[in-house]
Amino acid sequence: MFEKPDTRNYGRLIGLIGGAIAGGVAIAWAVPVLKKRAMRATTILKKDHRVVSGLFWTLQQTTNPSIRKSIFSQIQNQIEIHAAAEEEIFYPAVRNLYTATAEQQVDEARHEHQQIKDLLHQIATTDANSFEFMSKVNELKEKVEHHVEEEENEMLPMAENQMSNDELDHLGRRIHDRKVQLKERIAA
């Protein structure tokens, strides 16, 4: 009348359940560490770079002038906020490492920021339906990519090697707070 249950897979099922529970515990333990690392200065700056890269990709996929202008505006805001936070908080901290390399990298990064800001202004006043608009956007993208590559391959690793995790976390909180202030100012 009643069938005997097939018990051959119970052991595997119990193992999977146990593994999932243990994995959940491991993940739950790691969440505060991952959350803290997400507030590290270098992590925040790299995330900003990825956001801008994604916006450039999106802009290059559209031909609609009003959408182009809107996406460009987002790129401009992201870059201006990112650059301000770097120049006010991160670059002075790197300069305070008191090495010739750190000083040279900060000077070069500030110079690149100025070139990027100049291009942003030129693009903002260019007709989004023109060839010139996309030509200048491509030039901007190349300058930003060059800047990001140098920063992520030179300056950020130097900061990670010469600053403690606590220093990087403190800088990250300051960068985050400054970016929030700048975003609120733009939204107002």
Render pLDDT for 93-118 as a digit per residue (tens, 0 to 9): 999 999 999 999 999 999 999 999 99
- What pLDDT, on a 0 to 100 scale, did the predictor assign at position 26? 52
* pTM for this model (two decimals): 0.80
Q: Three-class SS of residue 57?
A: helix
Mean pLDDT for the chain? 88
CA distance 6 to 73: 63
DSSP-H helix ranges across the chain: 10-38, 41-61, 65-85, 91-95, 100-124, 131-150, 156-162, 165-187
pLDDT of residue 30: 45
What integer pLDDT is reported at residue 58 of this predicted model? 97
For every one of its 188 residues, what pLDDT tens digit does the chain have, with 9 covering 90 and above? 445 555 555 555 455 555 555 555 555 444 444 455 678 999 999 999 999 999 999 999 999 999 999 999 999 999 999 999 999 999 999 999 999 999 999 999 999 999 999 999 999 999 999 999 999 999 999 999 999 999 999 999 999 999 999 999 999 999 999 999 999 998 88
Instruction: Give the per-residue pLDDT at 188.
Output: 83
Gap between the Cα atoms of 111 and 146, Å rounded = 13
CA nearest to 93, candidates 83, 103, 84: 103
- What local confidence, expressed as pLDDT, does residue 67 receive? 97
